[in-house]
């Protein structure tokens, strides 16, 4: 689960763990990610792992994915949840903010798919969940970068199916 350090990602991690799943938590924020792991362990599931990963960095995604495969095994459910939201008008966004939002919200999905999809195909078993938003369908004021990234996630999900 990418973005497992807080919000929806954290709740998904706790939920899957409560069902007995082995949970692999990824987040750029190591402290929050470890808190998610420790919260799960306190509830009696020791089959949880936390990895710091900047999903916008392709080299880091492939490196951490390799480590996960070696230490945990193949992933059978990939939940692309990590996201960032900078609410400003287009002219107020810096080039770095635009690039980061697109890389985290969209491009990261491709990197995690390239890392984990081959073993799913090989085993003819696996599931991919791409967390999007109502913003994929309905833009809102100052969602000039965020809304299109969520539309891209939605469109990519339909293509994968």
Has 49 been annotated as catalytic? no
**Which residues does residue 78 pair with via DSSP β-bridges, in sequence order?**
128
Q: At what angle do helices 146-160 and 95-102 cross, to 10 degrees?
A: 20
| Active-site residue identified among 51, 110, 138, 146 | 146
Note whether 37 and 25 are within 8 A (CB): yes
Handedness of CA 23, 28, 31, 32 (dihedral sign): negative
Helix (H, G, I), strand (E, B) or coil at 32: helix
Residue 65's CB is within 10 A of a number of other CB atoms, namely 20
**Could you list the active site residues?**
146
């Amino acid at each position: 689960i990418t973005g497992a350090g807080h919000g929806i990602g954290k709740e998904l991690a706790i939920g899957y763990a409560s069902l007995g799943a082995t949970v692999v938590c990824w987040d750029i924020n190591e402290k929050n990610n470890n808190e998610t792991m420790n919260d799960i362990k306190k509830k009696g599931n020791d089959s949880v792992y936390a990895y710091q990963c900047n999903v916008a960095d392709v080299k880091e995604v492939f490196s951490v994915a390799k480590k996960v495969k070696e230490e945990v095994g193949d992933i059978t459910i990939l939940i692309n949840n990590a996201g960032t939201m900078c609410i400003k008008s287009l002219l107020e966004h810096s080039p770095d903010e635009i690039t980061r939002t697109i890389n985290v919200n969209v491009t990261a999905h491709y990197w995690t798919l390239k890392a984990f999809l081959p073993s799913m195909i090989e085993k003819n078993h696996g599931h991919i969940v791409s967390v999007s938003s109502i913003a994929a369908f309905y833009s809102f004021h100052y969602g000039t970068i965020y809304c299109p990234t969520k539309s891209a996630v939605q469109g990519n999900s339909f293509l994968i199916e």
